Structure 1
Amino acid sequence: MSDDADDRPAEPAENISGGPDGGGESVVPGDAESAESRAEAVVDELGEMYWQKAYGGQDAFECLVRTILSQNTSDKASQPAHDSLMSRYGGDETDLAESLADAAQDELAETIASAGLYNQKSETIVRLANHIVDEYGGEDGFDEFVKSGDPDEVRDALLEMKGVGPKTADCVLLFAGGRNGVFPVDTHVHRIARRMGLAPADADHEQVRQAMEAAVPGEKCGFGHTAMIQFGREYCTAREPACLDGPEACPLVEYCDQVGVDELSGEVVDPSEVVADD
Protein backbone atom coordinates (compact mmCIF):
# COMPACT_ATOMS: atom_id res chain seq x y z
CA MET A 1 0.00 0.00 0.00
CA SER A 2 1.19 3.47 -0.83
CA ASP A 3 1.77 6.00 1.91
CA ASP A 4 1.62 8.86 -0.56
CA ALA A 5 -1.83 10.41 -0.72
CA ASP A 6 -0.84 12.11 -3.98
CA ASP A 7 -0.91 8.71 -5.66
CA ARG A 8 -4.69 8.65 -5.31
CA PRO A 9 -6.94 10.45 -7.78
CA ALA A 10 -8.21 13.85 -6.76
CA GLU A 11 -11.79 13.92 -5.58
CA PRO A 12 -14.30 15.03 -8.20
CA ALA A 13 -14.68 18.80 -8.22
CA GLU A 14 -18.45 18.40 -8.53
CA ASN A 15 -19.66 15.56 -6.37
CA ILE A 16 -22.21 16.18 -3.65
CA SER A 17 -21.23 12.96 -1.89
CA GLY A 18 -17.56 13.86 -1.78
CA GLY A 19 -15.26 16.35 -3.49
CA PRO A 20 -14.09 19.63 -1.97
CA ASP A 21 -17.68 20.44 -0.95
CA GLY A 22 -17.96 17.17 0.96
CA GLY A 23 -16.40 18.73 4.05
CA GLY A 24 -14.01 17.12 6.48
CA GLU A 25 -10.29 16.49 6.54
CA SER A 26 -8.00 13.64 5.48
CA VAL A 27 -7.54 10.84 7.98
CA VAL A 28 -4.74 8.33 8.56
CA PRO A 29 -4.94 5.54 5.96
CA GLY A 30 -5.99 2.09 7.11
CA ASP A 31 -4.18 -1.14 6.35
CA ALA A 32 -6.25 -3.82 4.62
CA GLU A 33 -3.90 -6.55 5.85
CA SER A 34 -4.75 -5.78 9.49
CA ALA A 35 -8.48 -5.30 8.90
CA GLU A 36 -10.75 -7.25 11.23
CA SER A 37 -13.41 -7.94 8.59
CA ARG A 38 -13.56 -8.32 4.83
CA ALA A 39 -15.79 -5.25 4.65
CA GLU A 40 -13.15 -3.21 6.51
CA ALA A 41 -10.43 -4.52 4.17
CA VAL A 42 -12.53 -3.48 1.17
CA VAL A 43 -13.00 0.00 2.61
CA ASP A 44 -9.25 0.30 3.28
CA GLU A 45 -8.46 -0.70 -0.29
CA LEU A 46 -11.02 1.75 -1.63
CA GLY A 47 -9.48 4.47 0.51
CA GLU A 48 -6.12 3.80 -1.10
CA MET A 49 -7.70 3.95 -4.57
CA TYR A 50 -9.62 7.15 -3.98
CA TRP A 51 -9.56 9.14 -0.72
CA GLN A 52 -9.92 8.87 3.02
CA LYS A 53 -11.67 11.65 4.89
CA ALA A 54 -13.55 12.31 8.07
CA TYR A 55 -16.68 14.17 7.03
CA GLY A 56 -18.81 16.81 8.72
CA GLY A 57 -19.28 20.54 8.78
CA GLN A 58 -21.79 21.13 6.01
CA ASP A 59 -24.82 23.25 6.80
CA ALA A 60 -27.51 20.74 7.74
CA PHE A 61 -30.45 22.22 5.85
CA GLU A 62 -28.44 22.90 2.70
CA CYS A 63 -27.13 19.33 2.92
CA LEU A 64 -30.72 18.09 3.19
CA VAL A 65 -31.71 20.11 0.13
CA ARG A 66 -28.68 18.89 -1.85
CA THR A 67 -29.50 15.30 -1.05
CA ILE A 68 -33.13 15.73 -2.08
CA LEU A 69 -31.93 17.18 -5.38
CA SER A 70 -29.62 14.19 -5.90
CA GLN A 71 -32.38 11.61 -5.58
CA ASN A 72 -32.84 9.50 -8.74
CA THR A 73 -30.29 11.46 -10.72
CA SER A 74 -26.56 12.03 -11.13
CA ASP A 75 -24.29 14.63 -9.56
CA LYS A 76 -23.81 16.07 -13.04
CA ALA A 77 -27.52 16.84 -13.20
CA SER A 78 -28.13 17.79 -9.57
CA GLN A 79 -25.13 20.06 -9.04
CA PRO A 80 -26.34 22.79 -11.46
CA ALA A 81 -29.77 22.60 -9.82
CA HIS A 82 -28.19 23.15 -6.41
CA ASP A 83 -26.10 26.04 -7.70
CA SER A 84 -29.17 27.68 -9.28
CA LEU A 85 -31.19 27.21 -6.11
CA MET A 86 -28.50 28.77 -3.93
CA SER A 87 -28.06 31.65 -6.34
CA ARG A 88 -31.78 32.43 -6.29
CA TYR A 89 -32.72 31.66 -2.69
CA GLY A 90 -29.47 31.61 -0.69
CA GLY A 91 -26.95 34.20 0.42
CA ASP A 92 -24.74 35.03 3.37
CA GLU A 93 -27.43 37.02 5.15
CA THR A 94 -30.32 34.76 4.15
CA ASP A 95 -31.89 31.98 6.16
CA LEU A 96 -32.22 29.38 3.41
CA ALA A 97 -35.06 27.56 5.16
CA GLU A 98 -37.10 30.76 5.53
CA SER A 99 -36.37 31.73 1.93
CA LEU A 100 -37.48 28.37 0.55
CA ALA A 101 -40.50 28.21 2.85
CA ASP A 102 -41.75 31.38 1.15
CA ALA A 103 -40.79 30.24 -2.35
CA ALA A 104 -43.40 29.81 -5.07
CA GLN A 105 -43.27 26.13 -5.96
CA ASP A 106 -43.53 26.70 -9.71
CA GLU A 107 -40.58 29.09 -9.63
CA LEU A 108 -38.53 26.69 -7.51
CA ALA A 109 -39.40 23.84 -9.87
CA GLU A 110 -38.12 25.89 -12.79
CA THR A 111 -34.94 26.71 -10.87
CA ILE A 112 -34.09 23.06 -10.14
CA ALA A 113 -35.29 21.60 -13.45
CA SER A 114 -31.90 20.08 -14.32
CA ALA A 115 -32.20 17.68 -11.35
CA GLY A 116 -35.25 15.94 -12.81
CA LEU A 117 -38.51 15.19 -11.00
CA TYR A 118 -38.53 18.91 -10.35
CA ASN A 119 -42.23 19.21 -9.46
CA GLN A 120 -41.96 16.48 -6.84
CA LYS A 121 -38.64 17.75 -5.49
CA SER A 122 -39.76 21.38 -5.32
CA GLU A 123 -42.88 20.33 -3.39
CA THR A 124 -40.73 18.33 -0.98
CA ILE A 125 -38.22 21.14 -0.48
CA VAL A 126 -40.89 23.76 0.24
CA ARG A 127 -42.64 21.40 2.66
CA LEU A 128 -39.37 20.57 4.46
CA ALA A 129 -38.39 24.23 4.63
CA ASN A 130 -41.68 25.08 6.34
CA HIS A 131 -41.20 22.23 8.78
CA ILE A 132 -37.65 23.36 9.61
CA VAL A 133 -38.86 26.91 10.24
CA ASP A 134 -41.81 25.80 12.37
CA GLU A 135 -39.98 23.10 14.34
CA TYR A 136 -36.45 24.55 14.68
CA GLY A 137 -36.87 28.26 14.00
CA GLY A 138 -34.87 28.13 10.77
CA GLU A 139 -31.66 26.69 9.40
CA ASP A 140 -29.46 27.61 12.40
CA GLY A 141 -31.68 25.78 14.88
CA PHE A 142 -31.87 22.75 12.61
CA ASP A 143 -28.10 22.79 12.16
CA GLU A 144 -27.60 22.80 15.92
CA PHE A 145 -30.01 19.89 16.33
CA VAL A 146 -28.28 17.77 13.67
CA LYS A 147 -24.77 18.45 14.96
CA SER A 148 -25.36 18.17 18.70
CA GLY A 149 -28.47 16.03 19.10
CA ASP A 150 -28.50 12.33 19.90
CA PRO A 151 -27.77 10.59 16.55
CA ASP A 152 -30.67 8.14 16.89
CA GLU A 153 -33.07 10.94 17.73
CA VAL A 154 -31.80 13.03 14.83
CA ARG A 155 -32.19 10.12 12.41
CA ASP A 156 -35.69 9.36 13.69
CA ALA A 157 -36.70 13.01 13.34
CA LEU A 158 -35.39 13.12 9.78
CA LEU A 159 -37.16 9.91 8.81
CA GLU A 160 -40.44 11.30 10.13
CA MET A 161 -40.22 14.07 7.52
CA LYS A 162 -42.18 13.20 4.38
CA GLY A 163 -39.77 12.87 1.46
CA VAL A 164 -36.77 11.91 3.61
CA GLY A 165 -35.66 8.29 3.36
CA PRO A 166 -32.85 6.42 5.11
CA LYS A 167 -30.13 7.36 2.62
CA THR A 168 -31.04 11.06 2.81
CA ALA A 169 -31.15 10.98 6.61
CA ASP A 170 -27.79 9.23 6.80
CA CYS A 171 -26.17 11.69 4.38
CA VAL A 172 -27.28 14.58 6.58
CA LEU A 173 -25.89 12.81 9.66
CA LEU A 174 -22.60 12.15 7.87
CA PHE A 175 -21.90 15.29 5.88
CA ALA A 176 -23.47 17.83 8.24
CA GLY A 177 -23.29 16.09 11.61
CA GLY A 178 -19.93 14.43 11.04
CA ARG A 179 -21.21 11.32 12.79
CA ASN A 180 -18.89 8.33 12.89
CA GLY A 181 -20.46 4.95 12.20
CA VAL A 182 -22.88 6.24 9.56
CA PHE A 183 -22.67 4.40 6.22
CA PRO A 184 -25.29 5.79 3.82
CA VAL A 185 -26.51 3.25 1.26
CA ASP A 186 -27.26 4.46 -2.24
CA THR A 187 -27.79 2.27 -5.31
CA HIS A 188 -24.03 1.74 -5.77
CA VAL A 189 -23.39 0.70 -2.17
CA HIS A 190 -26.46 -1.54 -2.19
CA ARG A 191 -25.31 -3.33 -5.36
CA ILE A 192 -21.63 -3.66 -4.49
CA ALA A 193 -22.07 -4.84 -0.89
CA ARG A 194 -24.37 -7.65 -2.01
CA ARG A 195 -22.37 -8.55 -5.11
CA MET A 196 -19.17 -8.81 -3.09
CA GLY A 197 -20.85 -10.82 -0.35
CA LEU A 198 -20.41 -8.15 2.32
CA ALA A 199 -24.15 -8.29 2.95
CA PRO A 200 -26.80 -10.93 2.20
CA ALA A 201 -27.69 -11.13 -1.49
CA ASP A 202 -31.34 -10.35 -0.77
CA ALA A 203 -30.66 -7.57 1.77
CA ASP A 204 -32.61 -4.36 1.42
CA HIS A 205 -30.95 -0.96 1.80
CA GLU A 206 -31.42 -0.89 5.58
CA GLN A 207 -29.98 -4.38 5.98
CA VAL A 208 -26.95 -3.43 3.90
CA ARG A 209 -26.46 -0.36 6.07
CA GLN A 210 -26.63 -2.45 9.21
CA ALA A 211 -24.15 -4.99 7.81
CA MET A 212 -21.63 -2.35 6.75
CA GLU A 213 -21.89 -0.33 9.97
CA ALA A 214 -21.40 -3.50 12.01
CA ALA A 215 -18.30 -4.59 10.08
CA VAL A 216 -16.55 -1.26 9.38
CA PRO A 217 -15.02 0.93 12.14
CA GLY A 218 -16.99 4.10 12.65
CA GLU A 219 -14.25 6.46 11.50
CA LYS A 220 -14.01 4.63 8.16
CA CYS A 221 -17.71 4.59 7.28
CA GLY A 222 -17.78 8.06 5.73
CA PHE A 223 -15.02 7.59 3.21
CA GLY A 224 -16.17 3.99 2.70
CA HIS A 225 -19.48 5.37 1.45
CA THR A 226 -18.01 7.98 -0.89
CA ALA A 227 -15.24 5.74 -2.22
CA MET A 228 -17.63 2.84 -2.84
CA ILE A 229 -19.79 5.16 -4.94
CA GLN A 230 -16.77 6.07 -7.05
CA PHE A 231 -15.82 2.40 -7.38
CA GLY A 232 -19.35 1.63 -8.55
CA ARG A 233 -19.09 4.27 -11.23
CA GLU A 234 -15.68 3.20 -12.48
CA TYR A 235 -15.50 -0.57 -11.95
CA CYS A 236 -18.49 -2.33 -10.40
CA THR A 237 -21.25 -1.02 -12.63
CA ALA A 238 -24.71 -2.54 -12.68
CA ARG A 239 -24.59 -4.13 -16.13
CA GLU A 240 -20.92 -4.43 -17.06
CA PRO A 241 -18.68 -4.89 -14.00
CA ALA A 242 -14.97 -4.83 -14.76
CA CYS A 243 -14.53 -8.48 -13.74
CA LEU A 244 -16.22 -9.55 -16.97
CA ASP A 245 -12.97 -8.55 -18.67
CA GLY A 246 -11.04 -10.94 -16.44
CA PRO A 247 -9.98 -10.95 -12.78
CA GLU A 248 -7.05 -8.62 -13.45
CA ALA A 249 -9.49 -5.90 -14.54
CA CYS A 250 -10.89 -5.42 -11.04
CA PRO A 251 -8.61 -4.26 -8.20
CA LEU A 252 -10.89 -5.80 -5.56
CA VAL A 253 -11.49 -9.20 -7.15
CA GLU A 254 -9.79 -11.06 -4.28
CA TYR A 255 -12.43 -9.76 -1.87
CA CYS A 256 -15.44 -10.40 -4.10
CA ASP A 257 -17.89 -13.32 -4.22
CA GLN A 258 -19.20 -12.07 -7.59
CA VAL A 259 -22.78 -12.87 -6.61
CA GLY A 260 -24.92 -12.60 -9.72
CA VAL A 261 -21.95 -12.28 -12.08
CA ASP A 262 -21.11 -15.14 -14.49
CA GLU A 263 -17.73 -14.44 -16.09
CA LEU A 264 -18.09 -17.33 -18.56
CA SER A 265 -21.47 -16.37 -19.99
CA GLY A 266 -21.16 -12.65 -19.32
CA GLU A 267 -24.57 -12.68 -17.64
CA VAL A 268 -25.08 -10.18 -14.82
CA VAL A 269 -28.16 -10.22 -12.60
CA ASP A 270 -29.11 -8.56 -9.35
CA PRO A 271 -27.74 -10.62 -6.43
CA SER A 272 -31.27 -11.07 -5.09
CA GLU A 273 -32.16 -13.06 -8.20
CA VAL A 274 -29.51 -15.63 -7.30
CA VAL A 275 -31.22 -16.22 -3.96
CA ALA A 276 -34.64 -16.44 -5.65
CA ASP A 277 -33.34 -19.18 -7.98
CA ASP A 278 -31.95 -21.32 -5.13
Structure 2
Amino acid sequence: MAEEPSVNISGSDAGGGAAADFEAATAATRAEAVVDELGDRYWQKAYGGRDGFECLVRTVLSQNTSDTASQPAHDALLERYGGGDLAAALADADQPTLAETISGAGLYNQKSTRLIALAEFVVETYGGADGFDGFVTEAPPDEVRETLLELNGVGPKTADCVLLFSGGRDGVFPVDTHVHRIARRMGLAPADADHEAVRSALEADVPGEKCGFGHTAMIQFGREYCTARKPACLDDPEACPLADRCDQVGVYPERGEVVDPADAPEIE
Protein backbone atom coordinates (compact mmCIF):
# COMPACT_ATOMS: atom_id res chain seq x y z
CA MET A 1 0.00 0.00 0.00
CA ALA A 2 1.41 3.40 -0.96
CA GLU A 3 1.96 6.11 1.60
CA GLU A 4 0.03 9.34 1.64
CA PRO A 5 1.87 12.31 0.09
CA SER A 6 3.82 14.17 2.74
CA VAL A 7 2.76 17.75 2.06
CA ASN A 8 -0.09 20.04 1.17
CA ILE A 9 -3.00 17.65 0.77
CA SER A 10 -4.48 18.04 4.22
CA GLY A 11 -2.29 20.86 5.40
CA SER A 12 0.24 19.16 7.64
CA ASP A 13 3.28 16.93 7.67
CA ALA A 14 2.43 13.36 6.67
CA GLY A 15 -0.98 14.50 5.50
CA GLY A 16 -2.53 14.89 8.94
CA GLY A 17 -5.46 12.96 10.29
CA ALA A 18 -5.56 9.57 11.92
CA ALA A 19 -5.48 6.13 10.38
CA ALA A 20 -8.93 4.58 10.00
CA ASP A 21 -10.28 1.26 8.80
CA PHE A 22 -13.50 1.38 6.80
CA GLU A 23 -15.31 -1.77 5.73
CA ALA A 24 -15.29 -1.85 1.93
CA ALA A 25 -16.86 -5.24 1.24
CA THR A 26 -20.12 -4.12 -0.36
CA ALA A 27 -20.32 -0.73 -2.02
CA ALA A 28 -23.81 0.66 -2.51
CA THR A 29 -22.83 2.92 -5.43
CA ARG A 30 -20.15 3.04 -8.10
CA ALA A 31 -18.70 6.17 -6.52
CA GLU A 32 -18.34 4.35 -3.22
CA ALA A 33 -16.69 1.42 -5.01
CA VAL A 34 -14.18 3.81 -6.59
CA VAL A 35 -13.38 5.35 -3.21
CA ASP A 36 -13.05 1.89 -1.67
CA GLU A 37 -10.52 0.87 -4.30
CA LEU A 38 -8.62 4.10 -3.80
CA GLY A 39 -8.61 3.43 -0.08
CA ASP A 40 -7.16 -0.02 -0.67
CA ARG A 41 -4.52 1.38 -3.02
CA TYR A 42 -3.44 4.40 -0.97
CA TRP A 43 -4.71 4.89 2.60
CA GLN A 44 -7.76 5.25 4.76
CA LYS A 45 -7.83 8.17 7.17
CA ALA A 46 -10.21 10.18 9.28
CA TYR A 47 -9.39 13.87 9.14
CA GLY A 48 -9.75 16.78 11.52
CA GLY A 49 -7.82 18.47 14.28
CA ARG A 50 -5.87 20.99 12.26
CA ASP A 51 -5.96 24.62 13.41
CA GLY A 52 -8.92 26.23 11.63
CA PHE A 53 -7.33 29.55 10.75
CA GLU A 54 -4.04 28.02 9.68
CA CYS A 55 -5.99 25.64 7.46
CA LEU A 56 -7.77 28.63 5.93
CA VAL A 57 -4.45 30.40 5.36
CA ARG A 58 -2.87 27.34 3.77
CA THR A 59 -5.78 26.83 1.41
CA VAL A 60 -5.73 30.47 0.30
CA LEU A 61 -2.00 30.19 -0.38
CA SER A 62 -2.59 27.08 -2.50
CA GLN A 63 -5.12 28.78 -4.78
CA ASN A 64 -3.98 28.93 -8.42
CA THR A 65 -0.52 27.60 -7.64
CA SER A 66 1.31 24.33 -7.30
CA ASP A 67 2.05 22.44 -4.11
CA THR A 68 5.78 22.96 -4.58
CA ALA A 69 5.22 26.73 -4.60
CA SER A 70 2.61 27.05 -1.86
CA GLN A 71 4.35 24.85 0.71
CA PRO A 72 7.50 27.03 1.08
CA ALA A 73 5.29 30.14 1.20
CA HIS A 74 3.27 28.61 4.01
CA ASP A 75 6.43 27.66 5.90
CA ALA A 76 7.87 31.16 5.48
CA LEU A 77 4.61 32.72 6.70
CA LEU A 78 4.59 30.59 9.84
CA GLU A 79 8.25 31.30 10.51
CA ARG A 80 7.60 35.05 10.45
CA TYR A 81 4.12 35.28 11.96
CA GLY A 82 3.64 32.00 13.87
CA GLY A 83 4.37 31.25 17.49
CA GLY A 84 1.25 32.90 18.85
CA ASP A 85 -2.21 33.81 17.62
CA LEU A 86 -1.71 33.64 13.86
CA ALA A 87 -4.90 35.59 13.14
CA ALA A 88 -3.86 38.45 15.40
CA ALA A 89 -0.38 38.51 13.86
CA LEU A 90 -1.70 38.65 10.29
CA ALA A 91 -4.35 41.22 11.16
CA ASP A 92 -1.52 43.55 12.24
CA ALA A 93 0.82 42.58 9.41
CA ASP A 94 2.34 45.07 7.01
CA GLN A 95 0.93 44.12 3.59
CA PRO A 96 4.14 44.60 1.56
CA THR A 97 6.10 42.58 4.10
CA LEU A 98 3.54 39.78 4.07
CA ALA A 99 3.49 39.86 0.26
CA GLU A 100 7.27 39.46 0.18
CA THR A 101 7.05 36.60 2.68
CA ILE A 102 4.62 34.59 0.54
CA SER A 103 5.95 35.70 -2.84
CA GLY A 104 6.73 32.12 -3.87
CA ALA A 105 3.03 31.25 -3.87
CA GLY A 106 2.11 33.49 -6.80
CA LEU A 107 -0.49 36.28 -6.81
CA TYR A 108 1.19 37.34 -3.59
CA ASN A 109 -0.12 40.91 -3.53
CA GLN A 110 -3.69 39.70 -3.88
CA LYS A 111 -3.24 36.86 -1.43
CA SER A 112 -1.51 39.01 1.20
CA THR A 113 -4.32 41.58 1.07
CA ARG A 114 -6.86 38.77 1.29
CA LEU A 115 -5.14 37.09 4.24
CA ILE A 116 -5.00 40.34 6.21
CA ALA A 117 -8.71 40.94 5.59
CA LEU A 118 -9.55 37.37 6.66
CA ALA A 119 -7.43 37.74 9.79
CA GLU A 120 -9.13 41.02 10.68
CA PHE A 121 -12.53 39.34 10.29
CA VAL A 122 -11.50 36.43 12.51
CA VAL A 123 -10.14 38.71 15.22
CA GLU A 124 -13.16 41.03 15.15
CA THR A 125 -15.75 38.24 15.00
CA TYR A 126 -14.23 35.42 17.06
CA GLY A 127 -11.53 37.13 19.10
CA GLY A 128 -8.72 35.32 17.35
CA ALA A 129 -7.64 31.98 15.96
CA ASP A 130 -8.85 29.90 18.93
CA GLY A 131 -12.35 31.35 18.75
CA PHE A 132 -12.50 30.72 15.02
CA ASP A 133 -11.33 27.15 15.54
CA GLY A 134 -14.14 26.61 18.02
CA PHE A 135 -16.65 27.92 15.51
CA VAL A 136 -15.36 25.62 12.77
CA THR A 137 -15.40 22.51 14.95
CA GLU A 138 -18.61 23.12 16.90
CA ALA A 139 -21.07 25.12 14.77
CA PRO A 140 -23.42 23.34 12.33
CA PRO A 141 -21.49 22.56 9.11
CA ASP A 142 -23.97 24.46 6.92
CA GLU A 143 -23.50 27.55 9.08
CA VAL A 144 -19.72 27.28 8.91
CA ARG A 145 -19.78 26.83 5.14
CA GLU A 146 -22.20 29.73 4.61
CA THR A 147 -20.11 32.02 6.79
CA LEU A 148 -16.87 31.13 5.00
CA LEU A 149 -18.40 31.55 1.55
CA GLU A 150 -19.40 35.11 2.42
CA LEU A 151 -15.73 36.03 2.83
CA ASN A 152 -13.83 37.52 -0.09
CA GLY A 153 -11.53 34.96 -1.67
CA VAL A 154 -13.10 31.92 -0.03
CA GLY A 155 -14.73 29.57 -2.52
CA PRO A 156 -16.44 26.23 -2.04
CA LYS A 157 -13.24 24.18 -2.12
CA THR A 158 -11.55 26.40 0.49
CA ALA A 159 -14.60 26.26 2.76
CA ASP A 160 -14.86 22.50 2.43
CA CYS A 161 -11.16 21.98 3.15
CA VAL A 162 -11.53 23.95 6.39
CA LEU A 163 -14.59 21.88 7.33
CA LEU A 164 -12.81 18.62 6.59
CA PHE A 165 -9.25 19.12 7.77
CA SER A 166 -9.99 21.35 10.74
CA GLY A 167 -13.55 20.49 11.67
CA GLY A 168 -13.24 16.80 10.84
CA ARG A 169 -16.77 16.81 9.46
CA ASP A 170 -18.11 13.66 7.83
CA GLY A 171 -19.79 13.97 4.47
CA VAL A 172 -17.54 16.76 3.17
CA PHE A 173 -15.90 15.98 -0.19
CA PRO A 174 -13.88 19.02 -1.34
CA VAL A 175 -13.64 19.33 -5.11
CA ASP A 176 -10.39 20.58 -6.61
CA THR A 177 -9.34 20.36 -10.25
CA HIS A 178 -8.34 16.68 -9.90
CA VAL A 179 -11.61 15.60 -8.30
CA HIS A 180 -13.63 17.68 -10.77
CA ARG A 181 -11.87 16.07 -13.75
CA ILE A 182 -11.87 12.50 -12.47
CA ALA A 183 -15.49 12.38 -11.30
CA ARG A 184 -16.74 13.58 -14.68
CA ARG A 185 -14.29 11.48 -16.70
CA MET A 186 -15.27 8.33 -14.82
CA GLY A 187 -18.97 9.07 -15.08
CA LEU A 188 -19.50 9.58 -11.35
CA ALA A 189 -21.00 12.99 -12.10
CA PRO A 190 -22.52 14.55 -15.23
CA ALA A 191 -19.93 15.49 -17.85
CA ASP A 192 -20.95 19.15 -17.74
CA ALA A 193 -21.20 19.38 -13.94
CA ASP A 194 -19.54 22.35 -12.28
CA HIS A 195 -17.57 21.96 -9.05
CA GLU A 196 -20.66 22.29 -6.87
CA ALA A 197 -22.59 19.71 -8.87
CA VAL A 198 -19.68 17.27 -8.62
CA ARG A 199 -19.54 17.83 -4.87
CA SER A 200 -23.26 17.17 -4.53
CA ALA A 201 -23.01 13.97 -6.58
CA LEU A 202 -20.08 12.58 -4.60
CA GLU A 203 -21.46 13.53 -1.21
CA ALA A 204 -24.75 11.85 -2.14
CA ASP A 205 -23.11 8.60 -3.29
CA VAL A 206 -20.16 8.23 -0.89
CA PRO A 207 -20.73 7.48 2.82
CA GLY A 208 -19.81 10.43 5.02
CA GLU A 209 -16.96 8.73 6.81
CA LYS A 210 -15.25 7.91 3.49
CA CYS A 211 -15.45 11.37 1.91
CA GLY A 212 -12.26 12.73 3.46
CA PHE A 213 -9.89 10.02 2.34
CA GLY A 214 -11.82 9.80 -0.94
CA HIS A 215 -10.87 13.41 -1.60
CA THR A 216 -7.19 13.05 -0.74
CA ALA A 217 -6.80 9.70 -2.48
CA MET A 218 -8.53 10.95 -5.62
CA ILE A 219 -6.02 13.81 -5.77
CA GLN A 220 -3.17 11.31 -5.60
CA PHE A 221 -4.83 9.13 -8.24
CA GLY A 222 -5.14 12.19 -10.49
CA ARG A 223 -1.45 12.92 -10.12
CA GLU A 224 -0.30 9.35 -10.75
CA TYR A 225 -2.79 7.97 -13.26
CA CYS A 226 -5.68 10.19 -14.35
CA THR A 227 -3.78 13.30 -15.36
CA ALA A 228 -5.43 16.07 -17.35
CA ARG A 229 -3.50 15.74 -20.61
CA LYS A 230 -2.28 12.16 -20.65
CA PRO A 231 -4.21 9.72 -18.47
CA ALA A 232 -2.69 6.25 -18.14
CA CYS A 233 -5.44 4.67 -20.24
CA LEU A 234 -4.62 6.84 -23.26
CA ASP A 235 -1.70 4.64 -24.32
CA ASP A 236 -2.69 1.43 -22.57
CA PRO A 237 -6.27 0.71 -21.46
CA GLU A 238 -4.92 -1.80 -18.96
CA ALA A 239 -2.53 0.67 -17.33
CA CYS A 240 -5.19 2.25 -15.11
CA PRO A 241 -6.08 0.30 -11.96
CA LEU A 242 -9.63 1.70 -12.07
CA ALA A 243 -10.25 1.02 -15.77
CA ASP A 244 -13.16 -1.27 -15.04
CA ARG A 245 -14.90 1.51 -13.09
CA CYS A 246 -14.40 4.25 -15.67
CA ASP A 247 -16.59 5.51 -18.53
CA GLN A 248 -13.59 7.29 -20.13
CA VAL A 249 -15.71 10.35 -20.91
CA GLY A 250 -13.59 12.55 -23.18
CA VAL A 251 -10.75 10.03 -23.48
CA TYR A 252 -10.21 8.41 -26.89
CA PRO A 253 -7.31 5.90 -26.83
CA GLU A 254 -7.90 4.92 -30.46
CA ARG A 255 -7.20 8.53 -31.52
CA GLY A 256 -4.75 9.38 -28.76
CA GLU A 257 -6.96 12.31 -27.84
CA VAL A 258 -8.24 13.79 -24.58
CA VAL A 259 -10.87 16.51 -24.23
CA ASP A 260 -12.67 17.99 -21.26
CA PRO A 261 -15.61 15.70 -20.40
CA ALA A 262 -17.96 18.64 -20.94
CA ASP A 263 -16.78 18.84 -24.55
CA ALA A 264 -17.18 15.12 -25.25
CA PRO A 265 -20.11 14.14 -27.49
CA GLU A 266 -22.95 12.48 -25.65
CA ILE A 267 -23.12 8.71 -25.89
CA GLU A 268 -26.48 7.62 -27.28
**TM value normalised by structure 1:** 0.93
Q: Deviations over 1:195-222 (max 9, x none)?
A: 0000000000000000000000000000
Q: 1:183 to 1:251 in 2, by over 3 A?
A: same
Q: 1:192 to 1:66 in 2, by over 3 A?
A: same
More deviation, 115-124/188-197: 115-124
- Could you list the structure 1 runs, at least 4 aligned residues long, displaced by more than 4 angstroms after superposition: 275-278
Q: 1:171 to 1:48 in 2, by over 3 A?
A: same
Q: Of residues 228, 240, 246 in structure 2, which corresponds to 1:250?
A: 240
Report the secondary structure of 2:21's partner residue: coil
What is the rounded CA distance, in whole Å, between the counterparts of 1:73 and 1:49 in structure 2? 27
Shift of 1:10: 1.6
Q: 2:120 corresponds to which letter in structure 1? A: N
Q: Deviations over 1:182-237 (max 9, x none)?
A: 00000000000000000000000000000000000000000000000000001000
What is the rounded CA distance, in whole Å, between the counterparts of 1:267 and 1:117 in structure 2? 33
Tell me the equivalent position of 1:28: 21
Shift of 1:276: 7.9
Say if 1:11 and 1:18, in contact at 8 Å, map to a contact too: no
Shift of 1:23: 2.6
Unmatched 5+ stretches in structure 1:
1-7
Report the secondary structure of 2:170's partner residue: coil
Shift of 1:29: 3.7
Report the secondary structure of 1:247's partner residue: coil
Tell me the equivalent position of 1:3: none
Shift of 1:130: 0.4
Unmatched 5+ stretches in structure 2:
none
Is 1:149 the counterpart of 2:139 in the alignment? yes
Root-mean-square deviation over aligned CA pairs: 1.5
Shift of 1:74: 1.6
Q: 1:177 to 1:262 in 2, by over 3 A?
A: same
Q: Deviations over 1:162-191 (max 9, x none)?
A: 110000000000000000000000000000
What is the rounded CA distance, in whole Å, between the counterparts of 2:101 and 2:266 in structure 1? 43
Output aligned runs, 1:162-241, within 5 Å: 162-241=152-231
Q: Of residues 130, 133, 144 in structure 2, which corresponds to 1:140?
A: 130
What is the rounded CA distance, in whole Å, between the counterparts of 1:100 and 1:67 in structure 2? 15
**Identity percentage over the alignment?**
71
Shift of 1:30: 3.5
**TM value normalised by structure 2:** 0.97
Q: 1:275 to 1:205 in 2, by over 3 A?
A: farther
Shift of 1:82: 0.4
Is 1:100 the counterpart of 2:90 in the alignment? yes
Shift of 1:17: 2.8
